[in-house]
């Protein structure tokens, strides 16, 4: 599995778990998890993947990564 | 026997919180003692040692040697003082002419059948028989020595660490009782009767072939040299002792390192040790020979390429080279291109310094620790639910437990000293529930049998725990009062509604978990209604793609049943390595500082920035697997590894190797040229726990001192080496002793606020949090409220792992460890422990073996989607059909060639416990194994240091 494939898999895995644990806010919970535990280069890579279409991201993961992108853009 | 410097009061203290005191007069002196205390102990407390042989204060009184007779006013005869409790107003005489005559008579009989070789005996000067013969004034033996005796018998030297000489045995049964009462193995017995009585191991086997687990309790209990350490025979009796802490598992046993001059003679468990209460296992007690093993590297080495041989260099050159390489790489690839790994085998102080080096010196948070691959889900799960990344109890708590649930742990192998304490409680009547795919020894061991063993299919922990919760909720067994008071009620309602769904029931999940519904229901009822319920778990919980969820499911169950916040209950992670807890506490994770505070927390960061005089990175760093990914992607170029062997211990060896190979500078600081060092450019020789000062923190949050008993063979303690590197990259560290590092930790970490070497020396140990409110530490957590406030229930839906069996890989592999070896085996493989486990074996069920034409001992190939290795088969019903199991102690096997990249969703803890595999007959080592062996031999070539 390439690093990018690994990141996509991990993002989906996190989204799948937090979707069950936090049914009221699965996207925000996933975004927060990625923000708290992923190194910036990992976040940049997954955001770039979304920018290219993010084909294999689940719905929750896709929305969470989109929010990560917004957060990063605001920070810039 | 007990070391001459340690007092033996003859019988145990009375264990009662508020005992009734009685006053007794002994030899004219009044003494007040708890009711039930023996006369022998009461006398000892006022300085009167009644002669004794079969009595020792670590065992129940036995009353067989008849040496401790006393006279009691108003009573007939001469009762044994060890078995006779004091009574209020009792008047006792321990020394009278009549008693002296009786005792001499008893001693005459002993000595008439004992070799008179005291001057050449290995226990000369440290022998209770010799001492008591003197105490009773024995001057001659009227019976002579020519009669029938036991003076001709073969010595059993089969055990690598101790001998049994039956000619020296006085059949006091202390060894048998120690094996029974303390260790709980029941390997020894007194065979025969009367004059024919003799100590026998198992069915008259040699000690090595018997059920003996070499814990050393029998040797420690023996009053003569019948059982004695070979190291004492070779070196002589010790003349001084230093109290220190074992560097093996997370139990954290404290030992007396007994020395003769600068030479370590033996390690003997410290009676006052609060973690081990005077007990030990084969590793801590005996397996310290690696400290002087010929494989130890004592000089720093460097090389330009991993294809080159090593070149021995001076410390100055090695340190300067390391600093120069890290600075060069950061200048070329950016500050985030480097990082480091702290060690759970090293001290808190050393671990703290490594993460400080990376944060302060390298300017990033790329620091991780081996807890990544074991208990990182514990940190995440317990912090989420309770508010603290640690277990809730001390080990003593198990003595108050009524129902003990062991999930995914093999304590008799992985945490043997705690297992012995657990077995003591089980023999007293506590009930046991074991949730494990394998029939581990704790399921059925002498005088202990699990009430329920739930042999779940690997990977279904969450489904099983949810099914247990289903029973608790739907049968209205939850402790509603506790939950209402201590937890968030609405979260509980959500969780209860979830677990109560019909599809969570034992019946609905039986097909996927493999656990019979009726057994699961019975176990759930027992846990919820059986009194104090305590959960102990291990890596069978954490090392899954749902590791963190399983930890939270366990926390849910404990909260729902009210089993938190008092003795005898709780959620207790059994930590793997000696300082896993400490390494996590010390800020080894890439997202948090010491005390589990996130790097994005501005106030915490400001505190560290002020103390360290730099601006710190607010972004989380890379975890170990992420470092390796980044390395293969070209953005991570240098790694400082202290005391870890990620090539052998981490999953998917091919991936680890590729990551390491992609780096421009790998620094390994270790005792030996480990597997990771095959890919290293700098080797900095490390020091053993015997060679440095510091602290370890065990699984019960207990901080204990590690004390230097000898000078480091390499010239430096590990903390000193890190300081040299730090100063070489331009920092200005001036620690002169590890106590100063602990002072800094305490100043920067609220839960360590009252920790200091002075406090540790005064109190023996401290369980964090040690704060203003709890200056002597916190044995039990969450007593009145959870650290986070209200306990947090988390809905944990079962999500099957994506690692699937199928036609190509029809079996599930799970991995673990064995009693005699420790993790990657770097230490234990370099001791005589290899006699018990010279190689990794593949446990396979007879049914699966027969289907494949495999016989016991055959070489078999073990293949997964990640890789292939070969090892020999061990056919056993300990594993269920469809499951195979192996250990990962031997680099020749490299079991992690098989394991995959799947990991826990929250923490990336690898899914070691579930790998789909195929097993087939093999002719011998795989191509990869042969290539790896050749690479290892090439990599370990060392050129001598060039002449100055």
Whole-angstrom distance, CA of residue B774 vs CA of residue B787 = 14
Answer whether B767's CB lies under 8 Å from B462's CB.
Answer: no
Q: Cα–Cα distance between B847 and B875 in angstroms, integer?
A: 9
Boundaries of every domain in chain A: 3-75
Question: Is the Cα torsion angle B750, B347, B601, A13 positive or negative in sign?
Answer: negative
Under DSSP, is residue B921 helix (H, G, I), strand (E, B) or coil?
strand
Residue B666 φ then ψ, to 5°: -115, 125
How many Å apart are CA B833 and CA B213, to the nearest integer?
Answer: 11
Query: What is the per-residue pLDDT for B147?
Result: 84
Q: Does B799 contact A10 at a Cβ distance shorter than 8 Å?
A: no
Residue A54 φ/ψ region, left for φ over 0, alpha for ψ in the -120 to 50 degree band, beta for the rest: left
Of B549, B620, B633, the CB nearest to A37: B620
Place of tokens 């990771």: B676
How many interface pairs between A and B have CB atoms less than 8 angstroms apart?
61
* B585 within 8 A of B768, measured Cβ to Cβ: yes
For residues B601 and B445, give the distance between their C-alpha atoms in angstroms, rounded to a whole number. Answer: 49
Under a CB-based contact definition with an 8 Å cutoff, are residues B636 and B663 in contact?
yes
Q: For B503-538, how does the pLDDT look when each residue is reduced to its tens digit (9 = 90+)?
A: 999 999 999 999 999 999 999 999 999 999 999 999
> Would you say residue B5 has pLDDT above 80?
no
- Crossing angle of helices B738-748 and B348-356, rounded to 10°: 70
Q: Does A1 touch chain B (CB under 8 A)?
A: yes
The pLDDT of B648-653, averaged and rounded, is: 91
Identify the H or E element spanning B235.
Answer: helix B230-235
Handedness of CA B329, B334, B335, B340 (dihedral sign): negative
Can you give the pLDDT at residue B924?
Answer: 85
pLDDT of residue B670: 97
The CA-based diameter of chain B, rounded to the nearest angstrom, is 92
Q: Least CA distance to B909: which residue of chain A?
A: A10
* Residues B345 and B579: beta-carbon distance below 8 Å: yes
Rounded to an integer, what distance in angstroms lies between the CA atom of residue A2 and that of residue B876? 38
Residue B287 predicted with pLDDT over 70: yes
B385 part of contact set with chain A, CB < 8 Å? no
Chain B residue with minimum CA distance to A30: B906
Q: What integer pLDDT is reported at residue B15 of this predicted model?
A: 84
Q: Tokens 């009767």 label which residue?
A: B193
Question: What pLDDT does residue A75 have?
Answer: 77
Q: Which residues contact B56 (CB under 8 A, 6 or more apart)?
A: B2, B8, B10, B174, B221, B223
Q: pLDDT of B662-701, one tens digit each?
A: 999 999 999 999 999 999 999 999 999 999 999 999 999 9
Which CATH fold would you assign to the domain B811-938?
Answer: Barwin-like endoglucanases (2.40.40)
State which H helix or E strand residue B572 sits in.
Answer: strand B570-573
Confidence check: pLDDT of B480 > 90: yes
**Is residue B649 over pLDDT 60?**
yes
**How open is the CA angle B398-B399-B403, to the nearest 5 degrees?**
60
- pLDDT grade, residue B576 (50/70/90)? confident
B719/B514 Cα distance (integer angstroms) = 49
What phi and psi, each to the nearest 5 degrees, are found at residue B339?
Answer: -170, -170
**Runs of H (alpha helix) within B250-290:** 282-286
In the block, tokens 């009167």 appear at: B48
Q: CATH 3.40.228.10 spans which residues of chain B? A: 389-573
State both tokens at B545: 């793609």
| Alpha-carbon torsion, ordered B590, B596, B601, B603, to 10 deg | -130
> Contact at 8 Å (CB) between B250 and B576?
yes
B908: which chain A residues are within 8 Å (Cβ-Cβ)?
10
Enter the tokens of residue B468. Answer: 């247990």
Q: Determine the Cα–Cα distance for residues B765 and B386; give it in Å rounded to an integer.
A: 24
Q: Which residues of B touch A20 (CB under 8 A)?
A: 795-797, 799
Measured between alpha carbons, how far is A10 from B552 in angstroms, rounded to an integer? 19
> Which residue among A3, A20, A37 places its CB closest to the CB of B633?
A3
Task: Provide the pLDDT confidence category of residue B946 given band limits of 50, 70 and 90.
Answer: low
Q: How many CA atoms lie within 13 A of B686 on its CB side?
A: 25
* Ordered alpha helix ranges (H), A1-76: 3-21, 26-37, 40-51, 59-75
User: In angstroms, rounded to a whole number, what is the distance separating the alpha carbons of residues B478 and B488?
Assistant: 14
Helix B547-560 vs helix B461-474: crossing angle, to nearest 10 = 20
For B183-233, give the DSSP string: I----EEEESSGGG-EEEETTTB-TTTSS----SHHHHH-SSSSEEEHHHH
Between CA B368 and CA B342 the distance in angstroms is 6
pLDDT single digits (tens) B236-282: 999 999 999 999 999 999 999 999 988 999 999 999 999 999 999 99
Q: Residue B429 burial by CB count (10 A; 0-12/13-18/19+): exposed, middle or buried?
A: exposed
φ/ψ of residue B539, rounded to 5: -75, -15
Element (H, E) at B257: strand B254-260
pLDDT at B262: 86
* Strand B338-342 relative to strand B367-369, pairing: parallel
3-class SS at B261?
coil
> Distance, in angstroms, between B376 CA and closest chain A CA?
12
The C-alpha of A13 sits at a distance from chain B's nearest C-alpha, in angstroms, of 6
pLDDT level of residue B895 (50, 70, 90 thresholds): confident
Helix (H) or strand (E) holding B619: none
Q: Quote the mean pLDDT of chain B.
A: 95
Q: What is the pLDDT of residue B146?
A: 82
What's the mean pLDDT in B38-66? 96
A76 part of contact set with chain B, CB < 8 Å = no
Query: Which tens digits make up the pLDDT trace of B140-165?
Result: 899 888 888 888 899 999 999 999 99
Structure tokens at B319: 């340190």
pLDDT digits (tens, 9 = 90+) for B700-712: 999 999 999 999 9
Q: Which residues contact B762 (CB under 8 A, 6 or more apart)?
A: none
List all residues 6 or more positions away from B170 whose beta carbon is below 8 Å from its beta carbon: B53, B65, B110, B114, B129, B223, B224, B226
CB B647 within 8 A of CB B897: no
Q: What average pLDDT does the segment B618-622 reach?
A: 98
Give the minimum alpha-carbon distance from A12 to chain B in angstroms, rounded to a whole number: 9
Rg (CA), chain A: 11
**Structural contact between residues B181 and B232, judged by C-beta atoms closer than 8 angstroms:** no
Q: pLDDT at residue B638 above 90? A: yes
Q: Which residues of B touch A23 (CB under 8 A)?
A: 795
Which of B644, B470, B639 has the alpha carbon at shortest distance from B553?
Answer: B470
Both structure tokens of B492: 């509980």
pLDDT value at residue B17? 79
pLDDT in tens, B388-436: 999 999 999 999 999 999 999 999 999 999 999 999 999 999 999 999 9
| pLDDT in the model for residue B3 | 52
With contact defined as beta carbons under 8 Å apart, do A50 and B939 qualify? no
Span B735-759, pLDDT tens digits = 999 999 999 999 999 999 999 999 9
Separation of alpha carbons B938 and B948, rounded Å: 26
Give the tokens for residue B718.
């590990």
Instruction: Tell me which chain A residues have a C-beta less than 8 angstroms from the C-beta of B337.
Output: none
The partner residue sitting opposite A1, judged by closest CB among B590, B633, B901, is: B901
Q: Residues 596-615, chain B: which have Cβ within 8 Å of A?
A: 598, 600
Instruction: Check the CA dihedral B395-B401-B407-B410 and report its sign.
Output: positive
CATH code of B389-573, in short, is: 3.40.228.10
Which position has the token pair 């036991």? B150
Binary contact (A37, B591; C-beta < 8 A): yes
B621 touches A at CB < 8 Å: yes
Q: Are B249 and B409 in contact (CB under 8 A)?
A: no
Please give the residue of chain A at the shortest CA–CA distance from B797: A20
- Using the Cβ of A56 and the Cβ atoms of chain B, whether some distance falls under 8 Å is answered with no
Instruction: State the best of A14, A16, A39 to mutate against chain B, taking most chain B CBs within 10 Å.
Output: A39
Residue B937 has pLDDT above 90, yes or no: yes
Partners of B619 on chain A (C-beta within 8 Å) are: 39-40
B4 falls in which pLDDT band (50, 70, 90)?
low
B410 Cβ neighbours under 8 A, 6+ residues apart = B436, B438, B440, B441, B442, B538, B540, B816, B817
CB B217 within 8 A of CB B179: yes
Shortest Cα distance, chain A CAs vs residue B901, angstroms? 8
Cβ contact (<8 Å) for A37 and B799?
no
């Amino acid at each position: 599995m390439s690093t990018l494939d690994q990141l996509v898999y991990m993002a989906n895995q996190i989204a799948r778990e937090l979707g069950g644990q936090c049914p009221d806010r699965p996207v925000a919970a996933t975004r927060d998890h990625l923000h708290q535990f992923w190194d910036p280069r990992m976040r940049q890579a997954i955001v770039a993947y979304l920018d290219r279409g993010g084909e294999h991201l689940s719905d929750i993961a896709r929305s969470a990564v989109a929010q990560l992108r917004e957060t990063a853009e605001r920070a810039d | 026997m007990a070391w001459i410097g340690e007092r033996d009061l003859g019988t145990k203290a009375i264990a009662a919180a508020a005992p009734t005191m009685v006053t007794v007069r002994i030899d004219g002196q009044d003494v007040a003692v708890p009711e039930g205390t023996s006369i022998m102990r009461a006398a000892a407390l006022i300085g009167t040692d009644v002669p004794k042989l079969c009595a020792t204060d670590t065992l129940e009184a036995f009353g067989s040697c008849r040496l401790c007779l006393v006279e009691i006013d108003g009573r007939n005869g001469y009762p044994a003082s060890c078995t006779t409790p004091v009574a209020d107003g009792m008047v006792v005489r321990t020394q009278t002419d009549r008693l002296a005559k009786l005792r001499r008579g008893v001693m005459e009989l002993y000595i008439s059948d004992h070799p008179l070789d005291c001057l050449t005996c290995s226990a000369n000067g440290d022998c209770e028989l010799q001492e008591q013969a003197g105490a009773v004034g024995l001057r001659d033996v009227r019976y002579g020595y020519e009669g029938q005796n036991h003076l001709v018998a073969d010595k059993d030297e089969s055990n690598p660490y101790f001998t049994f000489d039956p000619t020296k045995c006085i059949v006091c049964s202390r060894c048998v009782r120690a094996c029974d009462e303390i260790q709980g193995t029941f390997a020894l017995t007194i065979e025969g009767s009367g004059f024919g009585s003799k100590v026998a191991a198992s069915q008259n086997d040699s000690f090595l072939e018997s059920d003996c687990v070499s814990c050393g309790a029998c040797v420690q209990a023996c009053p003569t040299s019948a059982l004695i350490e070979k190291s004492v025979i070779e070196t002589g009796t010790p003349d001084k002792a230093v109290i220190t802490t074992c560097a093996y598992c997370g139990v954290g046993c404290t030992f007396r390192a007994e020395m003769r001059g600068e030479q370590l003679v033996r390690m003997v468990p410290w009676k006052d040790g609060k973690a081990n209460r005077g007990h030990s296992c084969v590793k801590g007690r005996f397996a310290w020979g690696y400290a002087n093993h010929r494989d130890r590297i004592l000089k720093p080495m460097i090389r330009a390429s991993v294809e080159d041989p090593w070149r021995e260099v001076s410390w100055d050159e090695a340190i300067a080279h390391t600093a120069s390489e890290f600075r060069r790489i950061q200048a070329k690839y950016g500050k985030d291109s480097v990082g480091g790994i702290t060690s759970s085998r090293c001290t808190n102080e050393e671990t703290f310094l490594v993460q400080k080096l990376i944060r302060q010196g390298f300017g990033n948070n790329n620091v991780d620790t081996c807890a990544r691959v074991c208990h990182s889900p514990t940190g995440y799960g317990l912090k989420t639910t309770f508010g603290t990344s640690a277990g809730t109890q001390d080990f003593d708590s198990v003595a108050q437990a009524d129902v003990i649930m062991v999930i995914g742990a093999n304590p008799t192998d992985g945490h043997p000293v705690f297992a012995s304490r657990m077995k003591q409680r089980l023999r007293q009547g506590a009930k046991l529930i074991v949730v494990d795919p394998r029939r581990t020894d704790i399921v059925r061991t002498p005088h202990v049998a699990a009430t329920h063993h739930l042999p779940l299919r690997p990977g279904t922990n969450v489904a099983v725990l949810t099914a247990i919760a289903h029973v608790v909720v739907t049968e209205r067994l939850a402790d509603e009062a506790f939950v209402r008071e201590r937890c968030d009620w609405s979260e509980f309602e959500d969780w209860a509604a979830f677990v109560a769904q019909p599809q969570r029931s034992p019946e609905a999940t039986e097909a996927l978990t493999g656990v019979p519904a009726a057994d699961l229901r019975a176990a759930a009822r027992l846990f919820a209604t059986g009194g104090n319920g305590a959960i102990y778990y291990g890596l069978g919980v954490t090392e899954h793609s749902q590791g963190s969820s399983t930890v939270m499911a366990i926390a849910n169950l404990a909260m729902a049943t009210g089993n938190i916040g008092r003795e005898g209950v709780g959620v207790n992670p059994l930590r793997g390595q000696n300082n896993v807890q400490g390494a996590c506490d010390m800020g080894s994770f890439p997202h948090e500082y010491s005390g589990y505070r996130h790097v994005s927390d501005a106030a915490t960061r400001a505190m560290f920035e002020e103390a360290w005089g730099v601006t710190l990175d607010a972004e989380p760093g890379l975890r170990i697997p992420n470092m390796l990914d980044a390395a293969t992607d070209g953005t991570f170029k240098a790694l400082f590894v202290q005391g870890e062997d990620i090539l052998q211990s981490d999953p998917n060896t091919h991936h680890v190797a590729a990551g390491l190979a992609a780096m421009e500078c790998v620094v390994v600081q270790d005792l030996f040229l480990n597997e990771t060092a095959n890919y290293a450019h700098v080797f900095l020789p490390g020091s053993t726990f015997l060679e440095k000062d510091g602290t370890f923190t065990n699984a019960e949050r207990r901080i204990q001192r590690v004390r230097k008993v000898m000078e480091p063979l390499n010239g430096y303690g590990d903390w000193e080496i890190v300081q040299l590197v730090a100063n070489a990259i331009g920092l200005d560290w001036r620690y002169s002793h590890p106590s100063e590092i602990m002072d800094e930790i305490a100043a920067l970490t609220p839960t360590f606020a009252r920790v200091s070497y002075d406090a540790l020396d005064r109190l023996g140990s401290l369980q964090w949090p040690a704060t203003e409110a709890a200056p002597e530490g916190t044995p039990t957590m969450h007593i009145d409220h959870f650290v986070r406030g209200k306990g947090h229930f988390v809905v944990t839906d079962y999500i099957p792992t994506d690692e699937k069996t199928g036609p190509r890989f029809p079996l599930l592999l799970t991995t673990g460890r064995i009693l005699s070896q420790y993790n990657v085996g770097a230490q234990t493989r370099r001791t005589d422990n290899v006699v018990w486990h010279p190689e990794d074996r593949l446990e396979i069920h007879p049914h699966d073996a027969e289907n494949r034409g495999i016989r016991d001992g055959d070489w078999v190939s073990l293949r997964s989607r990640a890789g292939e290795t070969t090892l020999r088969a061990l056919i056993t019903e300990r594993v269920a059909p469809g499951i195979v199991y192996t250990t990962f102690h031997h680099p020749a096997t490299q079991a992690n060639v098989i394991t995959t990249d799947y990991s826990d969703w929250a923490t990336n803890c690898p899914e070691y416990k579930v790998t789909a595999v195929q097993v087939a007959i093999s002719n011998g080592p795989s191509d990869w194994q042969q290539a790896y062996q050749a690479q290892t031999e090439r990599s370990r070539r060392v050129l001598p240091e060039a002449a100055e």
